[in-house]
Amino acid sequence: MVIGNFLEKMAYDWARSEAPEQIKDEYYCATRDVFQARLDGMVSFLLAGKVAEGDAYMLAAIAGEIGNNSFDHNLGSWPDVPGVFFGCDLNGTQAIIVLADRGQGVLKTLKRVKPELENDEEALFTAFHEKLSGRAPESRGNGLKFVREAIEGSKKHLTFISGSAKMELNEKINISRTEAVRGCLAIIAL
């Protein structure tokens, strides 16, 4: 594993670049089964690193929801590179998990079922607050609400970027504009 800041930079550069460089195989999950296997391995890595069992499993649930969304909402319509960047690092008992995709992003996904959304900021707020799924007509949409609830009031922190919107979430939520990424980038910290 590498230090957290290196993971963040690598994922951010990959998610932002016009023509992405190929990322190392150890961070690239081209398919959901590869992602799931690495997610399972992350739990063992965190537990071996002395992260509390409850925190390790909650981090896996949060990362799993975000990573699975990448596959669920881009299936058959990846703009260029399919799959997910996924990395985890520990510094003592402090964990950082980084996920990124070069998918359609939250706004384009949610506009299918809520066409009145006007920008990336509205889409991020909606995704983390409303029971709404971009996989219509399926009645889903609880995943990112679960992520928000798991992080609020805990010692965890989430930075989530989609398009040109950036959300910082810990005890409260703050959404602002940022330099755009092509799909989504999530940084989960304990």
pLDDT (0 to 100) of residue 133? 58
CA distances 91 to 36, 97, 189, 190, Å, are 23, 12, 11, 10
User: Is pLDDT of 38 > 60?
Assistant: yes
119, two tokens: 């920008």
Residues of the chain with pLDDT > 70: what percent? 93
pLDDT (0 to 100) of residue 16? 93
pLDDT (0 to 100) of residue 37? 97
User: What backbone phi and psi angles, to 5 degrees, belong to 140?
Assistant: -130, -145
**Segment 101-134, tens digit of pLDDT:** 999 999 999 998 899 999 999 999 999 998 775 4
**Structure confidence at residue 160 as a pLDDT band (50, 70, 90):** very high
Give mean pLDDT, residues 50-68: 94
Tell me if the domain spanning 4-14+26-189 has CATH number 3.30.420.40: no
Strand partners, 85: 28, 100
Give mean pLDDT, residues 13-17: 93
pLDDT (0 to 100) of residue 4? 47
pLDDT (0 to 100) of residue 60? 95
Domain boundaries, the chain: 4-14+26-189
State how far the Cα of 91 lies from the Cα of 151, in Å rounded to an integer: 20
Tokens 């010692």 found at: 155
pLDDT (0 to 100) of residue 138? 52
Residues of the chain with pLDDT > 90: what percent? 71
50, two tokens: 């002395």
- 140 close to 133: Cβ distance less than 8 angstroms: yes
pLDDT (0 to 100) of residue 3? 38
State how far the Cα of 70 lies from the Cα of 42, in Å rounded to an integer: 18
State how far the Cα of 50 lies from the Cα of 87, in Å rounded to an integer: 18
